[in-house]
Structure 1
Amino acid sequence: MITLINRFEVTGAVDEFERVFDGTSAFFATQPGFIRHRLLRPLDGQGHYVNVSDWEDEPSFRRALQQPEFAAHRAALRALSSSDPRLYTPFLERVPS
Structure 2
Amino acid sequence: MITLINRFEVTGSVEEFEHAFDGTSAFFAAQPGFVRHRLLRHLDRPGHYVNVADWEDTRSFQQALRQPEFAAHRAVLRALSHSDPELYTAHLERVPS
SS in 1 for 2:25: helix
Q: Aligned-pair distance for 1:68?
A: 0.1
Equivalent residue number for residue 66 of structure 2: 66
SS in 1 for 2:85: strand
List, as ranges, runs of 4+ consecutive aligned residues in structure 1 with deviation greater than 6 Å.
Answer: none
Indicate yes or no: 2:83 matched with 1:83.
yes
SS in 2 for 1:32: coil
Q: Aligned-pair distance for 1:44?
A: 1.4
In structure 1, stretches of 5+ residues that fail to align are none
Equivalent residue number for residue 38 of structure 1: 38
Superposition map of 1:12-31 within 5 A: 12-31=12-31
| Count of residue correspondences | 97
Distance in 1 separating the partners of 2:9 and 2:88: 20
Distance in 2 separating the partners of 1:75 and 1:89: 27
Task: Give the structure-1-normalised TM-score.
Answer: 0.98
Task: Give the structure-2-normalised TM-score.
Answer: 0.98
Equivalent residue number for residue 47 of structure 2: 47
Percent of residue pairs identical: 79
